[in-house]
Each structure stands twice: as structure tokens, then as C-alpha cells.
């Protein structure tokens, strides 16, 4: 279930924020989830249903979620693990910026992915024939040359 869908379910609307907190690891979202769950907890603890309070909480939560929807979606996208395919595409884009040659360090700086992951993907690209490996004649640093980008 997508995180925003929870906001449309009365009584479970607070799970929108809990779901977003789990995915993004943003502690403030847990606080918001707890705040919007308070009316439901009060109904459970006092055993006297305050449907009006629960309804208000649901409506305010829906409005709040809609107002913050874009920023939450961006945080979720940033927290999502990068796939190997998208990393390959990012490395090709990085190679374009560096005249078709890319070092592992440049790949890490451009993508924000760890050294072992970048190096592993670059070596896979070498094995598949898309890229070849050479030592830079001036510095001796290992470069991955993207032939089709040159």
C-alpha cells in the first residue's frame, strides 16, 4: 500500500505518518503519527466514543498530508535504495561530464553510492563490453572508459 492511502481511511489515518517515518527514517513523522492517533487512543481508553474528535483528526490529517505530500514523496524517493540499472545510467551520465572516462572515486562523488557498489557495477560493465579499463597515462589511476561516449 502506498503511504498516502492511509490518510483516506478514518481511524487509520495516523498510519500515513508512521509509514512515512519507517520508510524515510524521519523521527518527526513518528511524532505526527502519535499526535493524530491520540483521538483513537482516547476512544479506546475511555470507552466513550468521541466520533467528532476522531472525525476532526482525520480531516486535519488528510489536509496536512496533502499539503506535505510533495516533500514527503521526495524524502521517500531519496530513501529508496538505488537499483543497479539506475546506477549504471547515473554512471554513464557521470562519464559524459568527464569526457567519457570515469574513476571509481568520480563515480562515487557523482552518485553518492559506496565505493564497492560503484566499482562492482563498473566491473560488470567491463565484463559486458560496454566499458574498458585502463590506467591513465599521466596519473596511473585506473579509469573506466565509456567508448560510445567519447
Contacts of 24 (CB under 8 A, 6+ apart): 72, 75, 76, 78, 79
Percent of the chain residues past pLDDT 70, beyond the cut: 99
Grid cell for residue 78: 531519496
Digit-coded pLDDT (tens) for 81-97: 778 888 999 999 999 99
Per-residue pLDDT at 78: 77
Best CA proximity match to 64, nearest among 36, 39, 26:
36
Contacts of 36 (CB under 8 A, 6+ apart): 13, 14, 16, 17, 57, 60, 61
pLDDT category, 1, cuts 50, 70, 90? low
Identify whether residues 23 and 88 lie together within a single domain: no
* Structural domain total, the chain: 2
Mean pLDDT of 13-33: 92
Identify whether residues 139 and 97 lie together within a single domain: yes
Digit-coded pLDDT (tens) for 121-144: 999 999 999 899 999 989 999 999
Residue 127 is part of a domain; what is its CATH number?
Answer: 1.10.10.10
Write down the pTM of the prediction. 0.56
Identify whether residues 10 and 75 lie together within a single domain: yes
As a whole number, the mean pLDDT across the chain is 89
Identify whether residues 7 and 49 lie together within a single domain: yes
Identify whether residues 89 and 144 lie together within a single domain: yes
Is the pLDDT score of 107 beyond 80?
yes
Of 17, 52, 79, which residue sits at a domain end?
79
Identify whether residues 68 and 94 lie together within a single domain: no
Q: Which helix (H) or strand (E) is 131 found in, with range?
A: strand 131-135
Per-residue pLDDT at 112: 83
Digit-coded pLDDT (tens) for 34-61: 999 998 888 888 877 778 888 899 999 9
What count of Cα atoms within 13 Å lies in the side-chain half-sphere of residue 82? Answer: 17
Contacts of 26 (CB under 8 A, 6+ apart): 20, 75
Identify whether residues 9 and 68 lie together within a single domain: yes
Identify whether residues 64 and 94 lie together within a single domain: no
Per-residue pLDDT at 73: 86
Q: How far apart are CA 7 and CA 143, in angstroms?
A: 49
Identify whether residues 26 and 75 lie together within a single domain: yes
Identify whether residues 10 and 74 lie together within a single domain: yes
Q: Are strands 142-146 and 101-102 parallel, antiparallel or unpaired?
A: antiparallel
Tell me the residue range of the domain where 19 lies.
3-79
Amino acid at each position: 500500500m502506498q503511504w498516502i492511502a492511509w490518510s483516506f481511511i478514518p481511524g487509520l489515518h495516523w498510519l500515513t505518518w508512521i509509514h512515512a517515518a519507517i520508510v524515510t527514517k524521519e523521527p518527526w513523522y513518528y511524532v505526527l503519527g502519535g499526535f493524530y492517533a491520540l483521538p483513537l487512543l482516547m476512544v479506546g481508553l475511555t470507552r466513550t466514543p468521541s466520533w467528532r474528535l476522531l472525525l476532526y483528526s482525520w480531516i486535519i490529517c488528510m489536509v496536512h498530508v496533502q499539503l506535505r505530500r510533495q516533500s514527503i514523496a521526495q524524502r521517500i524517493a531519496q530513501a529508496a535504495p538505488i537499483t543497479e540499472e539506475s546506477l549504471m545510467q547515473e554512471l554513464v551520465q557521470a562519464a559524459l561530464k568527464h569526457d567519457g572516462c570515469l574513476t571509481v572515486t568520480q563515480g562515487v562523488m557523482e552518485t553518492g553510492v559506496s565505493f564497492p557498489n560503484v566499482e562492482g557495477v563498473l566491473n560488470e560493465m567491463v565484463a559486458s563490453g560496454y566499458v574498458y579499463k585502463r590506467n591513465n597515462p599521466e596519473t596511473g589511476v585506473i579509469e573506466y572508459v565509456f567508448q560510445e561516449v567519447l
